[in-house]
Structure 1
């Protein structure tokens, strides 16, 4: 059972260069699949009813809800949680700078990128511009920017310990400097507004090289933003093809995970809790009914994970050796950096068997610090049972990451079973 072709993932990544574009693309595709767009300021009592399929966008986050015909105020939820953002370089205020005859952009670092991977590749600026009337305009520049390496002739130690100065070395070039250069004004023109109408912007870089298969057998896939568009796309494909189940299915794709999730559109904010409370209310329930529903609910926190690196296998656990092409990961950590426990592991096993997909366990080497996900945050905020999964990657947090062509589709198949409570 494969719901997601790698070509469809490539199209989704290409349409989603940043979190705002990703949220909009999820909403666009779900609207085409019959989901109604929700307004957060409106009364939902007529929109969220048994049988309803709805989607809402808040900034760079998107939440979709599919309510079964049999739903009541105490029907449990199945939530697939993911995130829309990725490490990048983010455009600063007053970004038009330069030197030595070249126009440059002032940027700061967003999240934890592998900085060396951002050098010597052509970059988009992508995100949103907000005008003086508060209207949001999505924009992307095309291949405008490049961070150039210093030539090896000028730094003979470059290959013995490259550590760029974050302020000095990372400012990309955009062309030859000319009088009147205005990066924001040029982006405003692309967005169809006047430069003087720009009131604010949230713009990040993304690699302009298209996603593609590679390898002798074409079984590997290189792309920007696989962390975590593999999970967003899996949830999207599952919601597009969802069969009516016994639970209320929810795709919650948050922003700002790479910087801690602490925002109104991040997992640490109130967004998901508010949506679930309003859905329960629209179905005729109150807080006690929501608590009863949550007690029977599950969240699958889906984020990318690490496959064993063939050149550095000692960085991984000696007994648990996940590989690209081996199926999605079940991510486990003793101190709850991932939320998986025995009950979650048992559920994930049932899900994957029902979806007919293989899966692998991931646990960190004890000497290597473990990352985290939205899983612990969601479990803490909602009290919902949660487990962590994801697509195995190499080069995580590079400007261009790597996975096996089959693994994203396997995650989508498992997500469909999980959301439909069909295991």
Structure 2
């Protein structure tokens, strides 16, 4: 399928701007503001209007954007919801990270989520996230930082010193992973480094109090392949779904109720104030439809598409898939099915998704995990159970899930955006 590269170039910019969930939410907020969405602070009283476009955040790492229906009440319209998550597996900087060994300055890291560790070696790494600090007026403040250049690396041990390296060596997360930042005669003061970084960004800092910082790969997202059929980047799982949902929401031009929710903490179970198993979405719905009976009626007229990438069949490891359910890249988004409710898909919601795909001329594939393998999960079953909305789990097929460099098909991205737009325009779900 020949596609204009403009949306893909926009996607690449978004991926590069979003090394952490905090940066992803900031980038999404900027795009929403440019599209006429109004920010509503959870601390304030809200006054939403018919046809209004709004968004809110929690913790700076989870975001919900929505539009109110123009001609019907929200109870009669319901919401067409797309859900995704902002976090990705990574290496987080520990609270007291400084290490000084053999003249090398290193930082201790903690593994966040189910990281595929081997690809983190020998990459050009930087640090980004949020820092909380006391400003020069003695007040608590916080700011996003991004060193935005390679400042660290985790070097591999030479094959000459580990002849079994290619025979399945286990990676010890405590001892193998501390990145090297430089050489010095004494242990570095990491908080002093953060203070300098904040001050260079224009902040008046008295003391760095705490932080949530992650290492990330500085290599840009890119289109690859002889015909640029593939997108490669860090954090495709699941910033790709965030971007597709956001783009569809902004461009759907629907008179119906539309909603995009992108939660943090999916990779570690979703149980937090900002995760899908927390109350953020439920609190928003309670504010929009106050009466419990009306809210139940609204949800009965709603549907959610839980969007989280799917495992494409790898040509070198095809035996890891059920032979009849091996999705191919660039052959359409994937409906994810599991009899034990690891995915929330039903026959009704999957049929609705197929009709939407047919309407925009897109193909659809199916994924069912091998019966002798464990199945992962998504925010779909959690959100469906929390608020009682019918749900389907879908995703763009990808390779190298949870690696520092993941891969997906460009046609699948464009097709999924069109399906989401058609979904947002549906009169009845």
Normalised to the residue count of structure 2, the TM-score between the two structures is 0.94
Residue 243 of structure 1 and its aligned partner are, at CA, apart by 0.8
The structural deviation recorded for 1:214 is: 1.4
Aligned to 1:324: 329
> Contact 1:83–1:255 (CA<8 Å) still a contact in 2?
yes
Q: 1:272-325 deviations in whole A, cap 9, x for unaligned?
A: 0111111223xxxx1110011001110110001110010010100111221011
Q: Distance in 2 between matches of 1:357 and 1:280?
A: 35
- 1:214 aligns with one of 218, 224, 230: 224
1:182 lines up with 2:189 in the alignment: yes
1:258 has 2:267 as partner? yes
Work out whether residues 399 and 407 of structure 2, in 8 Å CA contact, stay in contact via their aligned partners in 1.
yes
Name the CA shift for 1:188/1:71 in 2 (closer, same or farther; >3 Å): farther
Question: Over the residues paired in the alignment, what is the CA RMSD in angstroms?
Answer: 1.7
Runs of 4+ deviating beyond 4 Å: 1-4, 193-196
Mapping of residues 363-402 of structure 1, within 5 Å: 363-402=368-407
Contact 2:306–2:379 (CA under 8 A) maintained in structure 1: yes
Counterpart check, 1:110 vs 2:120: no
CA contact (8 A) 1:129 1:202 kept: yes
Determine the structure 2 residue equivalent to 1:138: 144
For the structure 1 residues 176 and 320, does the alpha-carbon distance in structure 2 shift closer, same or farther, using more than 3 Å as the test? same
Q: Between Structure 1 and Structure 2, how many residues are aligned?
A: 416
Partner of 1:65: 66
Alignment of 1:20-419 (within 5 A): 20-44=22-46, 46=47, 48-59=48-59, 60-74=61-75, 75-132=77-134, 133-141=139-147, 142-179=149-186, 181-192=188-199, 193=203, 196-246=206-256, 248-281=257-290, 286-419=291-424
- Whole-angstrom distance in 2 between the partners of 1:407 and 1:134: 44
Deviates more, 1:1-10 or 1:69-78: 1-10
Cα deviation for residue 420 of structure 1 reads 2.3
| Cα distance in 2 between the residues matched to 1:337 and 1:17 | 28
Could you tell which deviates more after superposition, 305-314 or 356-365? 356-365
Name which of structure 1's ranges 126-135 and 210-219 shifts more when overlaid on structure 2.
126-135
1:392 and 1:95 map into 2 onto residues whose CA distance is 37
User: 3-state DSSP class of the match of 1:103?
Assistant: strand
- Partners in 2 of 1:180 and 1:156 — Cα distance? 32
Take 1:406 and 1:395, find their aligned partners in 2: how far apart are those partners?
18
CA separation in 1, counterparts of 2:195 and 2:312?
Answer: 41
Contact kept, 8 Å, 1:139 with 1:190, in 2: the verdict is yes
Alpha-carbon deviation of 1:188? 3.0
Aligned to 1:5, the other structure's residue is in SS state helix
**C-alpha deviation, 1:195, in angstroms:** 6.4
Whole-Å separation in 1 of the counterparts to 2:194 and 2:250: 33
Unpaired runs of at least 5, structure 2:
none
Distance in 1, Cα, partners of 2:182 & 2:366:
47
Return the alpha-carbon distance in structure 2 between the equivalents of residues 178 and 252 of structure 1.
Answer: 48
Provide the rounded CA distance (Å) in 2 between the counterparts of 1:49 and 1:366: 49
Question: Is contact 2:103–2:186 with CA below 8 Å preserved after alignment?
Answer: no
Conserved in 2, the CA contact under 8 Å of 1:6 and 1:406? no
- 1:381-401, Cα deviation, whole Å (9 max, x unpaired): 001001101110000000000
Deviation (angstroms), 1:79: 1.0
**Deviation of the 1:419 alpha carbon:** 2.0
Matches of 2:260 and 2:198 in 1, distance apart?
29
**Partner secondary structure for residue 373 of structure 2:** coil
Report the TM-score when normalising by structure 1. 0.95
Q: Measured at CA, do residues 156 and 422 of structure 1 come closer, stay the same or move farther in structure 2, by a change above 3 Å? A: farther
1:95-128 deviations in whole A, cap 9, x for unaligned? Answer: 1212111110111000001000111101121111
Distance of 1:417 and 1:185 partners within structure 2: 51
* 1:231-259 Cα shifts (integer Å, max 9, x gaps): 0000110111121233x111000000000
